[in-house]
Structure 1
């Protein structure tokens, strides 16, 4: 056996009552300087594994760094897009508010216009009512070639003379022919507007009297014809 016996230590004071102290000396097995083939293969395998692990870690770190850079770039792009979207939303909100104000203004203006149109319609109705009181329609009057307003005015003044009505240009507000919608109508109606409804009333009254007088004269002249008198006598005797 390589072990040695236990020996008491030196230079250690001992008490008379204490037991003796022993120190154990262990001998080491001598190292064999020769390396076995198995150990060499293991060392080579270990070095290869270290190199592969190092390459793998380097590749992994490189890929992760590249992916991280891409992710960072994408995040920056997304942040930029979000900023642009926020600006666009703010701009649209401002435009929407502007459009709402314009719509409110247009609605208010439309309401005012409707009220004004209603007032104008009432005024037009009043004017038409007043105009009807001072307007006369004259139909079936032959139309002159290249007829003018002066021609119509002179014709009305002559007509007034025939019915014994003192009528001048000062009494006439307007005179014109209606535009015919059909080509077959050769003599459109004449519209005569007086400045007062009293003059219109006198004109109509004397015109009716003239028509009535003309009609009576026509009947009398017809009865004066010999064969008409014979026919009348026959009717009376029957």
Structure 2
């Protein structure tokens, strides 16, 4: 059966005795290829949702040969050549009345420089923003709110290279007096006790950009 189409005719089908003994998916062993004079090569490609008698069967096992499990589905994304994602301000996701900025994510860069996340104004990003960027083996943190005179710029060295083909994690927490940035297992703190309520409120309302920013900024 192909999709929902019923077969029109079936020829050269193995006898029930053969079907009871062994079933091959994707190809057959060389011994049986010679015995049955099979000229068609084995199948190259992906196979999923394999069922026998409507029961899902695993294609991985001791009798499998030269197969590679497909990537497990995730809720991740791949930012390709300037790609990015934009979300509404954080104030829409706060349910307990907290005024903290709390963002965490895992990332695996293929280049050693780029924006991981940014909170930016639509009209004038230079006047108010919070950004975290990676540059070689450092994480650059910038927080600016010109109206209140707030300006924080810091470069945090990392314990191991970020562009090493492995997954890394970042957790940003802007509390009442301290901004905490955790990179993998390394925790860093920056004092922000002079951040005004207006600056904090603005950060909570700015669009959140992940993996880059729109060209209109």
Would you call these one fold, judging by a TM-score over 0.5?
no
Report the TM-score, using the length of structure 1 for normalisation. 0.20
Report the TM-score, using the length of structure 2 for normalisation. 0.21
| Bigger Rg, which one | 1
Structure holding more helix per residue: 1
